[in-house]
Structure 1
Amino acid sequence: MELSKIKRVYFVGIGGIGMSAIARYFAKRGVVVCGYDKTRTNLTIQLEDEGILVSYLDEEAAIPVSFQHNDEDMLIVYTPAIPKNSVILNHFLNGGFSLKKRSEVLGIISEGMFCVAVAGTHGKTTTSSMIAHILTDTGFGCTAFLGGITSNYNSNVLFGKNNVVVVEADEYDRSFLTLHPDIAVITSMDADHLDIYGDESHLHESFNLFADQLKAEGKLFVKEGLPMHGITYAANDNAALRASNIYVENGNFVFDFSDGYTSIKDLNLAMPGKHNVENAVAAIGVALSLGIHPKSIKKAIASFKGVKRRFEKHVNNAEHIYIDDYAHHPEELKACFDAVRQLHPDKKLTVIFQPHLFTRTRDFADEFAKVLSTADDVILLEIYPARELPIEGINSQFLLDKMTLAKKEICGKDLVVDYIKSKKPELLLTVGAGDIDTLIEPLKTTLNNA
């Protein structure tokens, strides 16, 4: 399907972070866009405010008349997160419509463009957002499709005037194999999505296939230590691109960059943690390979405000600190906890964690329990199921029983704000990829008034 011939697009699952970015892209092109999602969220409300029609009823009658009949200029985009018994999804499947996964549409959009693709089981949203910001802030320019809302632009899509596109390449369901990048970054390859891959070896195989998609003269940047050949980066001396002299100043991480040819001193990054310093090193490497001047890169790194729900500080006063993060994998939790401890080593850490997916909780229960047990106080919410049906015996109690810390308990999502109001923790961290973000505003209000 040619991009220029698409006049109408319907999104089944339009409220997803990746889906909504593509919806906004097509709307910007003047295409008629509408879609369905199960739940009304801040993101779908923003789409409505931008003139995109969103329905929350999974029934054929909710599909606009102009989308009920198949035409060559119409595209139906769906996400694998939509249940297979969805009435709207099956209406399009049974009607012979042209259906594409989100990743396939990204492949169509990026075809013919200079593509920078960032993949990894974690770190890809922050790294791709950093790259997009550097390219935008320096005037180089780019279009970007991101897996989070960038704080600098309050959006998950950027519109450039050149032929460069930055995309977050999602490994779920092998989606990233629709891309053929000119520059690729692989941030991590930790076992995840085992419901799709079965085991870590098949996940690694998929990442290798992604690397093989690189164009002939393309560049591959890989986190040092990954079992893959490429230009390595890290916060140690073993990598080709490296950060050194890392220290914390006024809540920011300061570091030096070197690739053996170019050095940039005293870079100032507002996103805490060694893992984010390493993400920045990868982004700097990409920017340098595009010919952007080191001084411009340094300025862009200093002005990067981060990504919503990635170590986002909501309360910061003398009595209380409240941070929210999207971490939902044991390695992400560990990196997040380490960053919190580096910034606030003397404070008691209270964590509210909402496990995401029954399969992930089952597959990594021991790893989750080990990391969570390093906190001072943990409150578990029930597992957020997303696309999954319950698995017998896999619940938050199953995870709680494996945790070794003394102060641990399960709390209902509807009761947790009152619980925090009574406890008044000095350092609170909410983590998870489900709907735990709906607690941010009430927790923020509670702690600001405590």
Structure 2
Amino acid sequence: MNPVAAFPYVYFLGIGGIGMSALARWFKANGHQVSGYDKTPTPLTEALTAEGILIHYDDAVSSLPAVVRENRAQTLVVLTPAIPKDHQEWAWLREQGYDIRKRSQVLGLLTAGRPTIAVAGTHGKTTTSSMVAHLLHHAGVDCAAFLGGISVNLGSNLLLPRATDTSAPVVVEADEYDRSFLTLHPTVAIVTSTDADHLDIYGDKEALVESFRQFVGQIQPGGTLIINHTADPSVADAAPVGVSVIRYGLTPEEGPELWAANITAQGHQFHFDLHGPTGTVTGLQLAVPGFHNVENMLAATCVAQLEGVQPDVLREAVAAYRGVKRRFEFVVTTPEHGYVDDYAHHPREIEAFLRSMRALYPGKTLRVIFQPHLFTRTRDFVDGFAESLSLADEVVLLDIYPARELPLPGVTSEMILSRITAPRKSLQTKEQVLAAAEVDNDFDVLATVGAGDIDQLVPRLKNILNIRWNGVEA
């Protein structure tokens, strides 16, 4: 029996996180009584409440549900790293001796004994894992999935399997933050990238790469590693004996075993052929634009082929993929204009996103509104942020979104702003952004970019631009 089955009550500290909410939904669907705390209401917490999950927003022991306070031995507490050290409820639950597990530990327990497809990487893991889940689900392959974003096709960050046993594979986003992915022992692993990130945890890139080597070393005997050709070579070398290694990239000149040919952009679609050790599939059509998404889909289609999905079915499944919320999400489109929202929060991600925007909208004036995420990430990659954002015609910066961090002396959005070489640049509040959008028409294409709460701007900007460009309210 899975060890989590012994807990009829499950309490989440930080239930509104995208990964936490997927676990909460899994426990609710499997008959557990689920409740939780989060700092503020969001559309995601409101959705969980509508699904029957009790959530409160004040950090107080008295706010804990009675079933949690009265059933210590029968309650599992799931913790996100975003919870601050001085959290009162967390302190009380520790003092009372509750079984408290990190989200990653619970995910490790839920996937133990199941065929596991784990998608890791400092960029692209949410999109790639959602692609894998969609392709398998669309092809009729029974599977489960825990995703780090809301799949447009599934309408959720959770996919439940039909089978009640442990035979269905489970697709998981394997997060390198806090070395969380080391709780997983996959049968198939994808590594999309090993660029430096989370240096507040790792200290330097070599320590980060070492954690990826450990992750790859945990692939099950006879399993498969699908790894981007740009990843540190030592990561692939860490694959255990007997694990198949497939490198992927956009062109065969880059040296991978899996690549795309005949890539063309047609409107918002990318067309390409797939060539690799698991077979050739021609005439693939991807409705989610971006060369980086072609690369992500290469890895996902390889997994589908390993699971026995045939070319004709795979072609249909790729064409039906509609992406993840806030990953190259078209908010407003007209023949002459576009507004796109994206979660990119690392210089490499921003560069890939903006280069794809330039390819989609050649000759158009591009305004980018960017919210830096974390003080440490801003400090560590300030030059990279400035260089990538300078691909735009105009850059508007919001203040840094702190998330789990306290401010660092001297680390502000001004650090990035002073280095940006775009023709126009400014630092604004959300209110100023909205006020400017009402009167300023000096752009053809708009992008909101970042991983904080910049998404709060999207509905208002959508309405403003729909009225201006389409003559109707959103």
What is the TM-score normalised by the length of structure 1? 0.98
Q: Does 1:236 align with 2:237?
A: no
Question: Structure 1, residues 295-350: CA drift from partner, whole Å, max 9, x if none?
Answer: 11111010000000000001002453100000000000001001101111110110
What is the aligned partner in structure 2 of residue 181 from structure 1?
A: 186
How far apart in 1 are the matches of 2:336 and 2:57? 41
Q: What are the within-5 Å matches in structure 2 for residues 63-82 of structure 1? A: 63-82=64-83
How far apart in 2 are the matches of 1:104 and 1:309? 27
For residue 378 of structure 1, the aligned residue among 395, 400, 405 is 395
Q: What are the within-5 Å matches in structure 2 for residues 360-399 of structure 1? A: 360-399=377-416
What is the aligned partner in structure 2 of residue 205 from structure 1?
A: 210
Deviation of the 1:3 alpha carbon:
2.7
Q: What are the within-5 Å matches in structure 2 for residues 126-137 of structure 1? A: 126-137=127-138
- AA at the equivalent of 2:319: A
Q: Does 1:52 align with 2:67?
A: no
Deviation of the 1:363 alpha carbon:
0.3
Question: Do the aligned partners of 2:193 and 2:230 also contact (CA within 8 Å) in 1?
Answer: no
- AA at the equivalent of 1:343: L
Deviation of the 1:406 alpha carbon:
2.8
- AA at the equivalent of 2:302: G
Q: What are the within-5 Å matches in structure 2 for residues 409-420 of structure 1? A: 409-420=426-437
How far apart in 1 are the matches of 2:278 and 2:8? 48
- AA at the equivalent of 1:389: L
Question: Do the aligned partners of 2:278 and 2:306 also contact (CA within 8 Å) in 1?
Answer: no
Partner-residue secondary structure (3-state), 1:72: helix
1:67–1:295 distance in 2 versus 1, CA, 3 Å: same
For residue 426 of structure 1, the aligned residue among 429, 441, 444 is 444
What is the TM-score normalised by the length of structure 2? 0.93
Deviation of the 1:254 alpha carbon:
0.3
Q: What are the within-5 Å matches in structure 2 for residues 25-424 of structure 1? A: 25-162=26-163, 163-226=168-231, 227=233, 228-229=235-236, 230-237=245-252, 238-260=255-277, 262-424=279-441
- AA at the equivalent of 2:180: S
Question: Structure 1, residues 380-400: CA drift from partner, whole Å, max 9, x if none?
Answer: 000000000011111111211
What is the aligned partner in structure 2 of residue 10 from structure 1?
A: 11
What is the aligned partner in structure 1 of residue 462 from structure 2?
A: 444
Partner-residue secondary structure (3-state), 1:14: coil
| RMSD over equivalenced CA pairs, Å | 1.1
Question: Do the aligned partners of 1:70 and 1:96 also contact (CA within 8 Å) in 2?
Answer: no
Greater mean deviation of Cα atoms: 394-403 or 197-206? 394-403
Partner-residue secondary structure (3-state), 1:367: helix
In structure 2, stretches of 5+ residues that fail to align are: 237-244, 469-474
Deviation of the 1:273 alpha carbon:
1.0
Partner-residue secondary structure (3-state), 2:59: coil
Partner-residue secondary structure (3-state), 2:145: strand
How far apart in 1 are the matches of 2:10 and 2:293? 36
Question: Do the aligned partners of 2:13 and 2:78 also contact (CA within 8 Å) in 1?
Answer: yes
How far apart in 2 are the matches of 1:292 and 1:200? 37
Question: Do the aligned partners of 2:28 and 2:34 also contact (CA within 8 Å) in 1?
Answer: yes
How far apart in 1 are the matches of 2:300 and 2:336? 36
Deviation of the 1:70 alpha carbon:
4.8
Deviation of the 1:443 alpha carbon:
0.2
Deviation of the 1:249 alpha carbon:
1.3
Partner-residue secondary structure (3-state), 1:152: coil
* Identical aligned residues as a percent: 50
How far apart in 1 are the matches of 2:446 and 2:35? 38
Partner-residue secondary structure (3-state), 1:9: strand
How far apart in 2 are the matches of 1:40 and 1:372? 31
How far apart in 2 are the matches of 1:308 and 1:42? 13
- AA at the equivalent of 2:211: S
How far apart in 2 are the matches of 1:183 and 1:302? 24
What is the aligned partner in structure 1 of residue 472 from structure 2?
A: none
Deviation of the 1:69 alpha carbon:
3.7
Question: Do the aligned partners of 1:70 and 1:95 also contact (CA within 8 Å) in 2?
Answer: no
Question: Do the aligned partners of 2:278 and 2:305 also contact (CA within 8 Å) in 1?
Answer: no
How far apart in 2 are the matches of 1:254 and 1:91? 55
Greater mean deviation of Cα atoms: 432-441 or 421-430? 421-430
What is the aligned partner in structure 2 of residue 23 from structure 1?
A: 24
How far apart in 2 are the matches of 1:434 and 1:362? 16
How many pairs were matched up? 450
Question: Do the aligned partners of 1:320 and 1:447 also contact (CA within 8 Å) in 2?
Answer: no
